[in-house]
Amino acid sequence: MRKQPTLSPALTRALRIDAVASGAMGLLLAIDAGALQSMLGLPTPLLRGAGLFLVPFAAALLALAPRSGRAPGLVRLIVAGNVLWIVASIALVAATSGSITLLGELFVLGQAVAVGLFVYLESRAIRDSRSPLAPGRPA
């Protein structure tokens, strides 16, 4: 008997929160990259590029959220991408230590912490949705 995929409300919620935060950050970076450059000490093309990546990423998360139970591999890919984003953020701070401002370091590391929270929430929701006693599964 084939197992039916189950929709985890916690996973749907975590993906939607990730989408809203990613979209907001993407819009901020894409629209205000020039102004942020002077405050953060990071290159405008890097900031704008990150913003232009995050906007469609957020849209993809919103599209995936209600279908997440049918696409566990894709959700795991999102989590892995978030982990890579954290690693890249830490590497960015290390690589730009001579030019990045203190505010820039706090900005990059702060958003890395936020992404770490999404990794935790999404990973926990994936794990809980596989549990035999997860909501939506018969006991």
Q: What single DSSP character describes residue 134?
A: S
Total Cβ atoms within 10 A of residue 135: 12
Amino acid at 49: G
Q: Which residues are within 8 A (CB) of 42 and not within 5 positions of it... i.e. 6 or more apart?
A: 36, 92, 96, 99, 100, 104, 108
Secondary element (H or E) of residue 40: helix 9-40
The domain spans of the chain are 9-130
What whole-number distance in Å separates Cα of residue 100 and Cα of residue 3?
50
- Per-residue pLDDT of the chain in tens (139 residues, 90 and over written 9): 445 556 689 999 999 999 999 999 999 999 999 999 999 999 999 999 999 999 999 999 999 999 998 888 999 999 999 999 999 999 999 999 889 999 999 999 999 999 999 999 999 998 887 755 444 554 4
Contact 79, 123 (CB under 8 A): yes
- Predicted local confidence at residue 128, as pLDDT: 84
